[in-house]
């Protein structure tokens, strides 16, 4: 059933079926999310700036999720020798980089009114900046080697080494005393965020991930076409 995740031709068929409905659902979700953000309540301390959260948090989650997907595909590609996983790795690295950059920029725009500085050397911020550098290095390594086999596998190994950073990002707010607030949604007990703010946040997360999926599908299809043509 999930063969389309590792088989290029099945992926192409699946993408052709799903792409148009996905675009309609995405635009609907995005409009609904923006509507809900507009009518969501203001924070009693932060005022209007709390609405940056609806961009900041989904992009941060998706930056981590993209890297996790790349790490999983690297393991699959290295151990089962499935070339499609390297196609995915190459296609979705820039998406993750963009989400990380979005998270960093919106975070620093949020930090200026709240903490009084665009950037503080806090564990969470530093580790996310390192994640961004790792994404950039993956994109650069994609342009480096002449031999395709060497390039793909080297990048997969690099991704696996760099995935040490993921748990550091996740638990940095628990391990160190940080200015960044600890997790409030993804706690095991009930989330410490009000339902009126949680609703638009979750809908925006869905919309962001759908946008990411659409771009990923287009990029993977283009990558498959390039490989068919030139190899």
Partner 1 sequence: MIIIKKIYLFFKRESKLFFSNIVDLFSNILFFFLSVFVFIFALGTDEQLLKTIGIGIIWSLLLLSSTLSLRKFYEEDFKIEILPIIHMGGMSYELIVFLKILSHFTFVQIPFLVSLPIVSIFFNLPANEVYNLILTFIIGSLILSCLGSISASMNLLNKTNFSIGSVIVLLFSIPLIIFSVGINNADSDFNTLFNLLIGIALIFLGIAPWSSAACIKLALKNK
Contacting positions for partner 1 (CB under 8 A): 78, 126, 130, 133-134, 137, 140-141, 143-147, 149-150, 153-154, 157-158, 160-161, 164
Based on CB atoms, which residue is closest to partner 1, 45 or 177? 177
- Asked if 94 and 133 count as a contact pair (C-beta separation under 8 A), the reply is no
Q: How far is the CB of 150 from partner 1 (least distance, A)?
A: 5
47: β partners: 43
Q: Of 169 and 210, which CB lies nearer to partner 1 in the complex structure?
A: 169
Measured from the CB of residue 67, what is the shortest distance to partner 1 in angstroms? 14
Helix/strand/coil (H/E/C) assignment for every residue in 175-198: HCCCCCCCCCCCCCCCCCCCHHHH
Q: How far is the CB of 181 from partner 1 (least distance, A)?
A: 22
**Token pair of 100 as six digits:** 């990380």
Contact 123, 176 (CB under 8 A): yes
**190 SS3 class:** coil
**Which is closer to partner 1, CB of 56 or CB of 90?**
90
Between 157 and 222, CB nearer to partner 1: 157
Closer residue to partner 1, CB minimum distance, 142 or 199: 142
Hey, how many other C-beta atoms are within 10 angstroms of the C-beta on 17? 11
As measured in angstroms, the least distance from the Cβ of 162 to partner 1 is: 8
DSSP 65-127: HHHHHHHHHHHHHHHH--HHHHHHHHHHHHHHHHHHHHHHHHHHHHHHHHHSSS----HHHHH
* Minimum separation from the CB atom of position 135 to partner 1 (A): 11
By beta-carbon proximity to partner 1, the closer residue of 126 and 199 is 126
Cα dihedral 39, 198, 122, 165 sign: negative
Q: Write down the least CB distance from residue 187 to partner 1, Å.
A: 26
């Amino acid at each position: 059933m999930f063969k389309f995740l590792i088989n290029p031709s099945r992926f192409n068929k699946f993408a052709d079926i799903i792409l148009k409905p996905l675009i309609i659902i995405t635009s609907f979700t995005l409009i609904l999310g923006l509507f809900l953000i507009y009518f969501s309540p203001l924070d009693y301390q932060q005022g209007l700036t709390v609405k940056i959260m609806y961009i900041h948090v989904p992009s941060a989650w998706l930056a981590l999720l993209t890297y996790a997907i790349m790490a999983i595909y690297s393991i699959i590609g290295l151990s089962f020798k499935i070339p499609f996983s390297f196609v995915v790795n190459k296609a979705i690295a820039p998406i993750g980089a963009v989400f990380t950059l979005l998270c960093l920029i919106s975070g620093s725009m949020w930090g200026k009114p709240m903490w009084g500085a665009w950037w503080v050397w806090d564990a969470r911020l530093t580790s996310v900046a390192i994640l961004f550098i790792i994404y950039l290095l993956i994109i650069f390594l994609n342009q480096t080697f002449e031999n395709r086999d060497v390039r793909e596998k080297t990048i997969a190994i690099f991704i696996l080494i760099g995935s040490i950073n993921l748990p550091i990002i996740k638990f940095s707010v628990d391990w160190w005393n940080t200015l960044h607030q600890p997790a409030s949604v993804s706690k095991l007990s009930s989330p410490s965020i009000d339902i009126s703010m949680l609703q638009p946040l979750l809908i925006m997360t869905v919309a962001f991930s759908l946008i990411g999926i659409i771009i990923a599908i287009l990029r993977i299809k283009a990558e498959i076409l390039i490989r068919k043509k030139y190899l």
